[in-house]
Amino acid sequence: MLDARLQFIDPHATPAADGARPSRHEAEAAIRTLIRWAGDTPSRAGLLDTPARVARAYEEWFGGYAIDPDALLERDFESAGYDDIVLLRDIPVRSMCEHHMAAIRGVAHVAYLPGERVVGISKLARLVDAYARRLQIQERLTCEIADTLHRVLKPRGVAVVVKATHECIGSRGIAMHGVGMVTKRLLGQFERDPWRSELLASLRA
Ligand SMILES: Nc1nc2c(ncn2[C@@H]2O[C@H](COP(=O)(O)OP(=O)(O)OP(=O)(O)O)[C@@H](O)[C@H]2O)c(=O)[nH]1
Ligand SMILES: [Zn+2]
């Protein structure tokens, strides 16, 4: 099933840059190596199925590589005269930091100012998820969501705000739980007033 879903390879992700994609068998062997390196014994009963489980979990956490984000926005509709802000708030962000492969958790707010066309709101949430479920830094995640929506839908403006906490600073290193990071990208008419102020007011509301 996974291989079928992996037909799309994101040009920015270069997943095959270090060689062909390893087999599931190789992935599970790598997890056994990590278990041993952590200090445990992969052959003990409780860990026997763990490599397979972790591989399946990786298919979910990194399922974004199999999704073509542009294709998510293919089906659009006439905006029917609506010309004000469309804002989808509090879209869950479940990502992985590319430095430590640790969880990034938070929300994204995605807004656009329609031109001729609008998209189904679920597609905005799917777009966030497609880029989140990859190895990321928050800045790139924010830009990729905004730039794709801007390029494909061609609205008058796009704004993306991501608010997230990073497990890599919450549970290791500086170990400061609850520190939040906020990133935003404003494009087109959101770069200037009056829409910039309108947007920021909508986000505060
Ligand atoms: N800008 C940015 N930095 C991030 C993000 N996720 C994690 N980081 C940071 O990436 C940096 C990697 O720095 P390194 O010095 O190479 O790694 P490290 O030795 O593990 O750093 P410490 O976390 O300070 O212990 C750390 O400062 C992380 O806090 C992100 O989304 N954006
Ligand atoms: Zn990290």
Q: Is 12 a catalytic residue?
A: no
Distance, CA of 181 to CA of 172 (rounded, Å) = 17
- How many H-runs (helices) and E-runs (strands) does the chain carry? 8, 7
- pLDDT at residue 187 is higher than 90: yes
How many angstroms separate the alpha carbon of residue 131 from the centre of ligand 2?
17
pTM: 0.91
- pLDDT at residue 2 is higher than 60: no
The catalytically annotated residue of 28, 109, 150, 168 is: 168
pLDDT digit string, tens, across residues 4-21? 334 444 444 555 557 789
Residues within 5 Å of ion ligand 2, judged at the Cβ atom: 97, 99-100, 168
Distance, CA of 72 to CA of 133 (rounded, Å) = 15
Domain 77-204 in this protein, CATH class: alpha beta
Distance, CA of 159 to CA of 106 (rounded, Å) = 17
- Of 94, 96, 99, the residue with max ligand 1 atoms within 8 A of its CB, to mutate for a pocket test, comes to 99
Residue minimizing CA distance to atom 13 of ligand 1: 99
| Superfamily of structural domain 2-65 | GTP cyclohydrolase I, N-terminal domain (1.10.286.10)
Amino acid 19: pLDDT: 78
Amino acid 50: pLDDT: 98
User: 158 to each of 51, 70, 139, 192, how far by Cα in Å?
Assistant: 41, 15, 16, 12
Domain locations along the chain: 2-65, 77-204
How many angstroms separate the alpha carbon of residue 106 from the centre of ligand 1?
17
Distance, CA of 150 to CA of 156 (rounded, Å) = 8
Higher pLDDT, 2 or 114: 114
For the record, the structure tokens of 108 come out as 């994204």
Question: Which residue(s) pair with 199 in the sheet?
Answer: none
pLDDT digit string, tens, across residues 66-104? 999 999 999 999 999 999 999 999 999 999 999 999 999
pLDDT digit string, tens, across residues 104-151? 999 999 999 999 999 999 999 999 999 999 999 999 999 999 999 999
Residue minimizing CA distance to atom 15 of ligand 1: 99
Amino acid 6: pLDDT: 43
What ipTM was estimated for this complex? Answer: 0.93
Distance, CA of 112 to CA of 35 (rounded, Å) = 45
Contact 32, 51 (CB under 8 A): yes
pLDDT digit string, tens, across residues 21-75? 999 999 999 999 999 999 999 999 999 999 999 999 999 999 999 999 999 999 9
